[in-house]
């Protein structure tokens, strides 16, 4: 049943809500890219260089671990209070970061940012799912992909600009006005967002279990091959703990009266195949984004700034693919063909990169990156729309959270696996670890080119897995209404 006393949402209010949640999501996306250029300056200013990677790791750990919690919590408490809670926690973490007197306080602030930022992505997608019918939702998912594309391009540029000409703390201060603006944009319209009033309980035991399992697994991926060898006791213990707690969590899901992740959602074949496709696609995409600049510096002789700019075609291709896919899928019957064609294009592009990227021109490499990005971009709005279209409406938040969680996890695993492939191929020792040592040691090494071939092959295998998963997904007709809009009553003729 719907909450009483709520009026219908006007188109103007819809636009305000969507603009506000997209700004909030932009905060989380920007904070994953804006920090990296400032890290050397932060290290010089605050010291303790050996712990500098935790500026990235702390955010990634907490943001990934709490993603499923936000989906369930928003289904229980409503979207508005949970959206505001997420933004507020993120802003508080940003304030702690900006005022940090030492690196350890900064790492704590980054962990707090992750606690808030982990909800911004899933809540943005869920609120759009509340407002827009699945048949029209694809174009809004294209806007989400555009936000991530803009953040991927703008983040490194702004991070370098603020650090060089102002102060590194500005990269955190900027979150405060953006967060306040997002709250102001959505505060009044979200009051009128209809929702089903249902009695739920938050699965606290399941919440703790999934957070512990995820943190152990993320630490395994973060430290394995860099801080510790993959076969070290520390990595083996972390992986074992993650598997053990994961088994306990799976057992808990079967016994709990109202589990954190409902089994009917997890067993839904559309949810399983769509989220699986996104998991593998993000592994290829983020891994490619991480290691292509190193390839361009080593094989094409570019400096770090030039190599970073060369990722712009990949991002623009992604945004374009997402926009076209989102626009078309509500207007064609067999919408799966759009994404299947796109993923096939990405797979071909990665195979061509693996076959001879080192011997091709920079222009050819950039053209292939456009093709890969375009193909991957067609998947993201389609997968989100299909997952939200496949579940019961009162499970919209948790289903979207499962998708966002696997998207984050796929990104982390892709970076870790492809990074291990690159390190094994180059022979760089764990003690060296830094990107600079990769470039220095690789100078004149014939094995370096083969190592990058292996990276591109690994990305192609992941893209193939994404293609297979999406091909196996059932093509269910998209609903023409939201939960708030009654379906049209057919007129019966006499």
**CA angle, residues 420, 383, 59, in degrees to nearest 5:** 45
What digits encode the pLDDT tens for the residues 104-141?
888 889 889 888 888 887 777 777 777 776 666 666 66
pLDDT for 444 equals: 46
Q: How many CB atoms lie within 10 A of CB 393?
A: 15
Residue 3 lies in a domain: no
pLDDT for 354 equals: 86
What digits encode the pLDDT tens for the residues 52-93?
667 777 787 777 777 777 777 777 777 778 888 888 999 999
pLDDT for 166 equals: 80
Q: Are residues 184 and 325 in the same domain?
A: no
Q: Are residues 420 and 452 in the same domain?
A: yes
Residue 482 lies in a domain: no
Q: Are residues 30 and 175 in the same domain?
A: yes
Residue 296 lies in a domain: yes
Q: Are residues 15 and 104 in the same domain?
A: yes
Domain that holds residue 428: 261-477
Residue 491 lies in a domain: no
Residue 166 lies in a domain: yes
Residue 39 burial (C-beta neighbours within 10 Å; 0-12, 13-18, 19+): middle
Q: DSSP character for 394?
A: G
Residue 351 lies in a domain: yes
Q: Are residues 255 and 272 in the same domain?
A: no
Q: How many CB atoms lie within 10 A of CB 11?
A: 7
Q: How many domains would you assign to the chain?
A: 3
Q: Are residues 401 and 306 in the same domain?
A: yes
SS3 track for 154-191: HHHHHHHHHHHHCCCCHHHHCHHHHHHHHHHHHHHHHC
pLDDT values of the chain reduced to their tens digit, one per residue, 494 residues: 444 444 456 677 777 777 777 887 787 777 776 776 676 677 777 776 666 667 777 787 777 777 777 777 777 777 778 888 888 999 999 999 889 888 888 888 988 988 888 888 777 777 777 777 666 666 666 677 677 767 766 776 677 677 777 888 888 888 888 888 888 877 776 766 655 545 566 677 877 888 788 778 877 876 777 678 878 888 899 999 999 998 998 888 888 777 777 777 778 888 889 999 999 998 888 788 777 877 877 777 776 667 767 777 888 888 888 888 877 876 777 888 889 999 999 999 999 988 877 777 888 888 898 999 899 988 888 888 888 888 776 677 777 778 877 887 787 778 777 877 776 665 554 444 444 445 554 444 555 667 788 888 989 999 999 999 999 988 887 665 555 444 444 444 43
Last residue of a domain, one of 188, 216, 250: 188
Q: Are residues 139 and 226 in the same domain?
A: no
Q: Are residues 280 and 398 in the same domain?
A: yes
Residue 78 lies in a domain: yes
In CATH, what number is assigned to the domain containing residue 471? 1.20.1250.20
Q: Are residues 380 and 428 in the same domain?
A: yes
**CA angle, residues 430, 434, 436, in degrees to nearest 5:** 130
pLDDT for 332 equals: 76
For 152, the 3-state DSSP assignment is helix
Last residue of a domain, one of 259, 288, 306: 259
Q: Are residues 368 and 443 in the same domain?
A: yes
Q: Are residues 310 and 367 in the same domain?
A: yes
Residue 193 lies in a domain: no
pLDDT for 51 equals: 67
Q: Are residues 213 and 271 in the same domain?
A: no
Tell me how far apart the alpha carbons of residues 467 and 482 are, in angstroms, rounded to a whole number: 29
Among candidates 132, 131, 20, which has minimal Cα distance to 86? 20
């Amino acid at each position: 049943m719907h909450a009483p006393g709520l009026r219908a949402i006007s188109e103007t209010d819809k636009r305000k809500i969507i603009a506000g949640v997209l700004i909030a999501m932009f905060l989380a996306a920007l904070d994953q890219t804006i920090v990296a250029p400032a890290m050397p300056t932060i290290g010089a200013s605050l010291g303790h260089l050996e712990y500098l990677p935790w500026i990235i790791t702390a955010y990634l750990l907490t943001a990934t671990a709490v993603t499923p919690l936000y989906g369930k919590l928003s289904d229980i408490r409503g979207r508005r209070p949970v959206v505001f809670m997420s933004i507020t926690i993120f802003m508080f973490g940003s304030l702690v970061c900006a005022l940090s007197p030492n690196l350890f306080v900064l790492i704590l602030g980054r962990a707090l940012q992750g606690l808030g930022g982990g909800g911004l992505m899933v809540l943005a997608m869920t609120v759009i799912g509340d407002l827009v019918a699945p048949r029209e939702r694809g174009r809004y998912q294209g806007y989400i992909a555009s936000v991530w594309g803009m953040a991927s391009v703008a983040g490194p540029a702004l991070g370098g600009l603020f650090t060089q000409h102002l102060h590194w703390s500005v990269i955190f201060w900027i979150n405060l006005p953006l967060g306040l603006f997002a709250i102001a944009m959505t505060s009044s319209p979200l009051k009128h967002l209809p929702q089903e009033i249902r009695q739920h309980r938050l699965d606290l035991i399941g919440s703790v279990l999934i957070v512990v399992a995820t943190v152990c697994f993320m630490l395994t991926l973060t430290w394995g091959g860099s801080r510790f060898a993959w076969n070290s006791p520390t990595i083996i213990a972390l992986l074992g703990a993650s598997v053990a707690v994961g088994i306990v969590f799976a057992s808990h899901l079967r016994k709990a009266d109202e589990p954190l992740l409902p089994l009917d959602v997890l067993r839904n074949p559309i949810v399983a195949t769509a989220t699986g496709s996104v998991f593998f696609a993000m592994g290829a995409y983020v891994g490619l984004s991480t290691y292509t600049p190193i390839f361009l510096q080593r094989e094409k002789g570019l400096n770090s700034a030039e190599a970073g700019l060369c990722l712009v075609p990949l991002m623009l291709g992604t945004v374009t693919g997402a926009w076209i896919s989102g626009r078309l899928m509500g207007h064609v019957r067999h919408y799966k063909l759009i994404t299947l064609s796109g993923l096939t294009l990405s797979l071909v592009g990665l195979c061509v990169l693996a076959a001879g990227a080192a011997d091709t021109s920079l222009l050819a490499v950039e053209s292939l990156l456009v093709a890969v990005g375009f193909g991957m971009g067609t998947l993201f709005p389609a997968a989100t729309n299909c997952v939200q279209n496949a579940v019961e409406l009162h499970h919209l938040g948790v289903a979207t959270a499962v998708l966002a969680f696997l998207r984050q996890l796929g990104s982390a695993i892709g970076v870790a696996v492809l990074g291990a492939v690159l390190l094994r191929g180059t022979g760089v020792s764990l003690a060296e670890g830094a990107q600079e040592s990769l470039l220095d040691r690789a100078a004149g090494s014939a094995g370096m080119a083969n190592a990058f071939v292996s990276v591109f092959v690994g990305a192609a295998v992941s893209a193939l897995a994404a293609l297979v998963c999406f091909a196996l997904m059932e093509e269910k007709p998209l609903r023409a209404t939201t939960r708030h809009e009654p379906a049209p009553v057919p007129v019966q003729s006499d």
